[in-house]
Structure 1
Amino acid sequence: METKFRCNCPFTSALDVLGDKWIMVIVKQMLIENKQTFKDFTESDESIATNILTTKLKQLEEFGIIVKTKLPDNKKSNIYLLTEKGLALTPIIIELGIWSDTHLRDLNPTIVNGKGMELLRTDKVEFGKDIEQKYREKLTTTTYIKNSGFGS
């Protein structure tokens, strides 16, 4: 897949890659909700269609935002992991969450509340460190990181 960029503007170029409505949802699911298998994504609240999910996972892989690898104890199952480039999207996910919490609650009063949201509201830097640390710990406690390309 060759990405066509509309212009040389860095904001527009970022949106050419990340601006699809599913791309950031998938990254958020991986980072915050620990989704990593195709089945995990299809069972999520967002209800992404399988054909769209397949396409978006391939795009994320081609962009270098995720890698696809195998479970160490089940070589038939694929798992998807964020790369360093994918983890670098954490501040964007955080800012989207803050913006949504501040500006969309009146339109969607069922937006989640709780300890995580309180930390996001009061200390977004700590919130970001916490979710990145948990993601990295999950990876380092398993053996599949060795063959995943994570860190490259």
Structure 2
Amino acid sequence: MKTTSKEDLRSHCAVNYGVEMFGDRWSLLIIRDIVFAGKKTYGAFLKSEEGIATNVLASRLAFLEEQGILSRAPNPDDGRKDFYTLTEKGLDLIPIMLNIVLWSAQHDAKSYVRSQKKFIARIRKHPLQVSEEVKALVRNGGCIFPDADV
């Protein structure tokens, strides 16, 4: 897959750029898996409940890496596996992910996140502080809900 350049964009609208970089369902779910559940490997992403196809997962991981949103490195314990992590550019998507969580908690009556009342309240009250805390957590290999099964 080739890297998207300014010449490849449908328009130079800021919303369009965001949609073309990470606006498809699978890219956002891969980022979600890293931020919320701490997933780092192809196999872990594949186990997410949405059931991404292997070819789509491989394509999205490659695209996100080419765009500088993800970085890939060999697993030090098993060289046959790669670890995927968010780059600084990818970490900058965390405030957007948290806003999606807030929106979903408000509008999806069956949203799992509704049970995380303290977390939702903190995001609403201190969005910038929570975003920075989550960025630091993920930058250091952590995630928001380490026991989550997403």
Is the structural similarity TM-score above 0.5? yes
Shift of residue 40, structure 1, vs aligned partner: 0.7
| TM-score in terms of structure 1 length | 0.80
State how far apart, in whole Å, the 1-side matches of 2:136 and 2:20 are.
Answer: 29
Task: Render the CA deviation track for 1:29-85: whole Å, top value 9, x for unaligned.
Answer: 112210100111011222212111111001101111001111112212111111111
**In the alignment, what sits opposite 1:46?**
50
State how far apart, in whole Å, the 2-side matches of 1:32 and 1:129 are.
Answer: 14
Name which of 31, 34, 37 aligns with 1:30. 34
Identity of aligned residues (%): 31
State how far apart, in whole Å, the 1-side matches of 2:66 and 2:141 are.
Answer: 24
**In the alignment, what sits opposite 2:112?**
111
State how far apart, in whole Å, the 2-side matches of 1:7 and 1:31 are.
Answer: 29
Contact 1:32 1:131 in 2 (8 A): no
Contact 2:86 2:139 in 1 (8 A): no
Matched, 1:123 2:126: yes
Contact 1:70 1:78 in 2 (8 A): yes
State how far apart, in whole Å, the 1-side matches of 2:141 and 2:35 are.
Answer: 11
Name which of 101, 104, 114 aligns with 1:100. 104
Shift of residue 132, structure 1, vs aligned partner: 1.4
CA RMSD, 1 decimal: 1.8
What is the aligned residue count? 136
Which consecutive unaligned segments of at least 5 residues does structure 1 have? 140-152
**In the alignment, what sits opposite 1:20?**
24
| TM-score in terms of structure 2 length | 0.81
Which consecutive unaligned segments of at least 5 residues does structure 2 have? 143-150
Higher relative contact order (CA 8 A, sep 6+): 2
Which stretch has the larger CA shift, 6-15 or 111-120?
A: 111-120
Shift of residue 124, structure 1, vs aligned partner: 2.4
3-state DSSP of counterpart to 1:75: coil
Name which of 6, 28, 31 aligns with 2:10. 6
State how far apart, in whole Å, the 2-side matches of 1:12 and 1:64 are.
Answer: 17
Task: Render the CA deviation track for 1:1-48: whole Å, top value 9, x for unaligned.
Answer: 142211121111221111111111111111221010011101122221
**In the alignment, what sits opposite 1:80?**
84
Contact 2:3 2:67 in 1 (8 A): no
